[in-house]
């Protein structure tokens, strides 16, 4: 076995250990929270939110910023709020495995939740095996002590903290311009400003930004092509699966792959930089996908293989390959077209403007460094390569993308951020960097 074979074997062993540890952690965490929190207390808090108008039957609310492209989702929030609520008589293991909620009847989980709260007959009957539903674990604990409004405030504070942590490490690596170059596209071309109102989306953003910050912090002292660095990326992806129900999973690995390329290129060749980015993204997605499969295996082991397999196999095929209602949109790159179309109300123009600005910075950097294009362009290409990840993701999950473009488009703000940061990197880079 060659050096690469030994490297991959060692990394795989570390990732396997991480998988076992994360599985044990997720199962134990869910069961501990279910055992230590009181359904009646949570329902009382939610009932007060309904009475105060803080929780309504609307599935999708218009952004308070007045932009139609910035709708935020209460559909997924109400699924999370009603998951495992009102079924305390069942075993902890079954509750953690099935993760049932009030159901999709009438495509109105919020109204179903409210009706159950008002009628005193809330009963989750719709098993939702496909996800860990990690936000429910957070919500049960938070709603045991705080009102729904205060939980949203807490979401906002955590989101600000995660963004601040990322900005801090970005400044160290790319300079002060990294702050506006990251924050302006992030706020203009995503739902992040309204995310705190929907915990399921807030936690996705919080972990994505925090993951990127933690990974870049590690890269400051350790190489990307390191066993423990890649195992760390695997863990970050696994935790993302606990928190993200396919809302915007491509954001963190794209940023992390870009950071791996940028940091590696300062010390090593373009080939090593690309390898660092590819292995980083691969480790993250391996963690995300393996823990996703882990939830299916856990549910099947507890509830029965045939029951769970039938639900999951049909769902995976449906969400990946075919929804007859969308057959007219099934042409090549229809999913990519759909997510770019979701960038409306001027945010797509913002990305175009950012691209022109990035191009200007890159051209000036080339002139300033007086480098030959043969040395300059390979580094630029390596830095921009991670932008393939959001497109690959939406095309792999094409049907899910076509059904939910308002979720899937959120990673496209990176088409502004990464070129701008790449331009700054090239401006500041040493012309002696290996090519």
- Whether residue 435 lies inside any domain: the answer is no
Of 216, 145, 146, whose CA–CA distance to 178 is shortest? Answer: 216
- Residue 54 maps to a domain: yes
Q: Is residue 331 part of a domain?
A: yes
Residue 253 inside a domain? The answer is yes
pTM: 0.89
Q: Give me the number of domains the chain comprises.
A: 1
Residue 196 has pLDDT above 80, yes or no: yes
| Domain contains 283 | yes
Stretch 88-92: mean pLDDT, rounded? 88
CA-CA-CA-CA dihedral for 272, 273, 278, 280, to nearest 10: 100
Structural domain that includes position 413: 3-428
Residue-wise pLDDT tens digits, 28-63: 999 999 999 999 999 999 999 998 888 887 766 665
Distance, CA of 113 to CA of 100 (rounded, Å): 13
Is pLDDT at 401 greater than 90 in this prediction?
A: no
What is the SS3 assignment for 128? coil
Average pLDDT rounded to a whole number, residues 246-258: 90
Question: Is residue 433 in some structural domain?
Answer: no
Task: Report residue 351's pLDDT band, with 50, 70 and 90 as the boundaries.
Answer: low
| pLDDT for position 72 | 67
Q: Is residue 84 part of a domain?
A: yes
For residue 203, name the pLDDT band (cuts at 50, 70, 90).
very high
In a domain, 346, yes or no: yes
What confidence score (pLDDT) does residue 166 get? 96
- Cα–Cα dist 17/143, whole Å: 33
Query: Any idea of the CA torsion for 381, 260, 288, 2, to the nearest 10 degrees?
Result: 90
**Exposed, middle or buried: residue 50 (CB in 10 Å: 0-12, 13-18, 19+)?**
middle
71, pLDDT greater than 90:
no
């Amino acid at each position: 076995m060659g050096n690469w074979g030994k490297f991959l074997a060692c990394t795989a062993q570390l990732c396997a250990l991480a998988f076992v540890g994360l599985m044990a952690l997720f199962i134990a965490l869910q069961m501990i929270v279910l055992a230590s929190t009181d359904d009646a207390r949570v329902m009382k808090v939610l009932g007060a939110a309904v009475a105060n108008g803080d929780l309504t039957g609307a599935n999708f609310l218009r952004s308070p910023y007045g932009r139609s492209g910035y709708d935020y989702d209460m559909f997924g929030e109400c699924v999370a709020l009603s998951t495992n609520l009102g079924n305390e008589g069942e075993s902890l293991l079954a509750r953690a495995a099935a993760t049932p909620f009030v159901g999709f009847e009438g495509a109105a989980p919020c109204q179903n939740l409210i009706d159950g709260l008002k009628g005193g007959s809330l009963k989750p009957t719709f098993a939702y095996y496909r996800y860990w539903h990690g936000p429910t674990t957070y919500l049960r604990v938070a709603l045991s002590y705080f009102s729904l409004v205060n939980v949203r405030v807490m979401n906002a504070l955590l989101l600000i903290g995660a963004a601040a942590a990322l900005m801090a490490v970005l400044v160290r690596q790319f300079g002060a311009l990294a702050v506006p170059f990251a924050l302006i596209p992030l706020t203009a071309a995503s739902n992040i400003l309204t995310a705190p109102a929907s915990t399921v989306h807030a936690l996705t953003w919080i972990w994505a930004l925090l993951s990127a910050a933690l990974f870049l912090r590690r890269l400051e002292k350790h190489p990307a092509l390191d066993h423990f660095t890649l195992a760390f990326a695997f863990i970050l992806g696994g935790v993302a699966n606990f928190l993200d129900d396919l809302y915007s999973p491509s954001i963190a690995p794209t940023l992390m792959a870009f950071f791996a390329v940028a940091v590696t290129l300062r010390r090593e060749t373009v080939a090593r930089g690309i390898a660092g980015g590819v292995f980083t993204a691969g480790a993250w997605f391996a963690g995300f996908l393996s823990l996703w499969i882990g939830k299916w295996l856990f549910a099947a082991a507890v509830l029965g293989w045939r029951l769970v397999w039938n639900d999951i196999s049909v769902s995976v095929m449906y969400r990946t390959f075919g929804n007859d209602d969308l057959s007219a949109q099934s042409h090549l790159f229809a999913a990519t077209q759909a997510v770019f179309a979701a960038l409306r109300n001027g945010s797509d123009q913002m990305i175009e403007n950012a691209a022109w600005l990035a191009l200007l910075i890159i051209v000036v950097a080339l002139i300033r460094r007086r480098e030959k294009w043969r040395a300059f362009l390979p580094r630029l290409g390596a830095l921009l390569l991670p932008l393939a990840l959001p497109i690959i993701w939406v095309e792999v999950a094409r049907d899910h993308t076509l059904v939910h473009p308002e979720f899937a488009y959120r990673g496209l703000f990176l088409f502004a951020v990464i070129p701008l940061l790449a331009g700054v990197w090239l401006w500041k880079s040493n012309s002696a960097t290996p090519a």
